[in-house]
Amino acid sequence: MEAVVSVIVPVYNGSQYIDRIIDNVLRQTYRHLEVLFIDDGSTDGSADIIRDKIGSLDEVALSSINFRVISQPNMGQGGARNTGIDNASGDYLLFMDQDDYIESEYIDMLVKHAVYTDADMIFSGYKHVDSNGNVLDQAVLTNDDWCRFMNITPWGKIYKCSYIRDNNIRFLPVPLGEDIYFNVRAYSHTDKAVHSDYVGYSWLLNESSVSNTTHRRYDEKANMVTLFKTMSKMDGAEKWMADKTFEFFILKTALFHILYLAGYESNKKLLSYRDDVFRWIKKYFPDYKYNKLIGWNKPDGERANVRHVIAMYMLMHRVGVDKAFLVVLNTGMKVLSRVRGMGK
């Protein structure tokens, strides 16, 4: 029998995306699907809209695809995905975000790769697109150690359901980094995590999405140090803390969140956060400033813009001028935002 894939879609006030998600699923060339919509406390009637849409489908569509709607109080994306894992009945798990979309052969390609390699998880690249479908950026994975961390989200991947459940791999109940924790734990328990250079997932640039608005704040929960502390206590943490590729990933993750906060927090809070992050990194990775993957053309496979941002920031950090840079950047971003606001 063909393997059944459980597609898990967390939905929070996603009524405007329902038609596209369902149509996207119906266009899949792979037909042995269970689609779980996890309505995560929506207040816009998303669950009813999904049920109405499903109810309007013809028998041919419903004969091979089983649509289910599960409603719960708001628990965040991590909590919604955990509910999906607990209720999935498929052989494989595949995650989608409500505002993203996939190519018609996407599930077919990942399933075939997973079956052929007998992998516990397959991870692939993605396109970053705007609302008009224009490709802003693209990550194509190559066969090297770093490619595991180029796409650390749950989407763009397929997992054996039994593997995830047997190892009790779950998302953290936090608004920032819950997907990082999930995938690092997933990598920790297997030597059968296999990359694919196929790119069939489109990640929509959505300024109003839950993840984007969450990343713009800094508090106890939306804080990379909180995530890093939790990861340092997980099973197999000692192995990761000695891994220079993982060290570089921690640096990348921390730097991009610090830079992402520019324009949204006060200079005092931004610099305090920067100090907290580097204090933690130095404790666990004392030689981080000279990580072998920091460089204009490293690591192999990474996009040039990402490599360059990390290399330039770490150069400023080594000579002690990154704080001044953050103040200038933060102030400039706020001025630019005010100017844009006046023009509307």
What is the rounded CA–CA span in Å between residue 6 and residue 24? 15
Question: Tens digit of pLDDT for each residue in 20-60?
Answer: 999 999 999 999 999 999 999 999 999 999 999 999 998 87
The pLDDT confidence band at residue 186, using thresholds 50, 70 and 90, is: very high
Q: Mark whether 257 and 161 lie in a shared domain.
A: no
Q: Are residues 83 and 184 in the same domain?
A: yes
**Quick one: DSSP state of residue 298?**
B
Average pLDDT over residues 283-303: 94
Helix (H) or strand (E) holding 9: strand 5-11
The token pair at 328 is: 């200038």
Q: What pLDDT score was predicted for residue 270?
A: 94
pLDDT at residue 212 in the model: 47
For residue 278, which amino acid is it? Answer: F
Examine the domain organization and report whether 15 and 116 are in the same domain: yes
pLDDT at 341: 65
pLDDT at residue 259 above 70?
Answer: yes
Please, are residues 30 and 108 in contact by the beta-carbon 8 Å criterion? Answer: yes
Helices (H), 134-215: 161-166, 178-188, 210-215
- Answer yes or no: do 228 and 121 share one domain: no
Please say if the pLDDT value at position 16 is more than 80.
Answer: yes
Shared domain for 202 and 265, answered yes or no, is no
Average of pLDDT values for 118-123?
Answer: 97
The pLDDT of residue 218 is 62
Residue 158, pLDDT > 60, answer: yes
**Which residue among 165, 188, 213 closes a domain?**
213
Q: 95 and 172: one domain? A: yes
pLDDT at 210: 54
What mean pLDDT is reported for the chain? 92
Pairing of strands 157-160, 92-95: antiparallel
Domain finish residue from 213, 244, 273: 213
- Of the listed ranges 102-116, 263-277, 326-340, the least confidently predicted one is 326-340
191 and 323 together in one domain: no
Residue 202 has pLDDT above 90, yes or no: yes
- For tokens 């999935």, the residue is 88
C-alpha 271, offset from chain centre:
26
pLDDT at 344 > cutoff 60: no
314 DSSP assignment: H
Per-residue model confidence (pLDDT) at position 214: 53
Percent of the chain at pLDDT > 70 equals: 94
Assess whether pLDDT exceeds 80 at residue 7: yes
Q: Domain check: are 222 and 198 in the same one?
A: no
Tell me how far apart the alpha carbons of residues 276 and 226 are, in angstroms, rounded to a whole number: 10
Sheet holding 135-139, edge to edge: 101-102, 201-204, 126-129, 135-139
Name the strand (E) or helix (H) holding 155: none
Average pLDDT value for residue range 111-136 = 94
In a shared domain, residues 37 and 67? yes
The residue that leads in pLDDT, 226 or 62, is 226
| 93: confidence class by pLDDT, cuts 50, 70, 90 | very high
**What's the pLDDT tens digit per position in 262-289?**
989 999 999 999 999 999 999 999 999 9
Are 30 and 149 found together in one domain? Answer: yes
pLDDT of residue 215 exceeding 90, the answer is: no
Total domains in the chain come to 2
Q: Is the previous residue joined to 286 through a cis bond, with omega within 30 degrees of 0?
A: no
- Confidence band (pLDDT; 50, 70, 90) for 301? confident
Same domain flag for 150 and 38: yes
| Lowest mean pLDDT across 57-66, 94-103, 265-274 | 57-66
Query: Which two tokens mark 131?
Result: 């609302």
Alpha helices in 36-90 (DSSP H): 46-55, 59-64, 76-87
Residue 317, domain extent: 216-342
pLDDT value for 340: 65
Looking up residue 124, the CATH number of its domain turns out to be: 3.90.550.10
Round to whole Å and give the CA distance between 335 and 328: 11
DSSP state of 182: H
Whether the CB-CB separation of 32 and 64 falls below 8 Å is answered with: yes
Domain boundary among 179, 213, 247: 213
The predicted pLDDT at position 65 comes to 93
- Whether residue 126 is predicted with pLDDT greater than 90 in this model: the reply is yes
Identify whether residues 227 and 209 lie together within a single domain. no
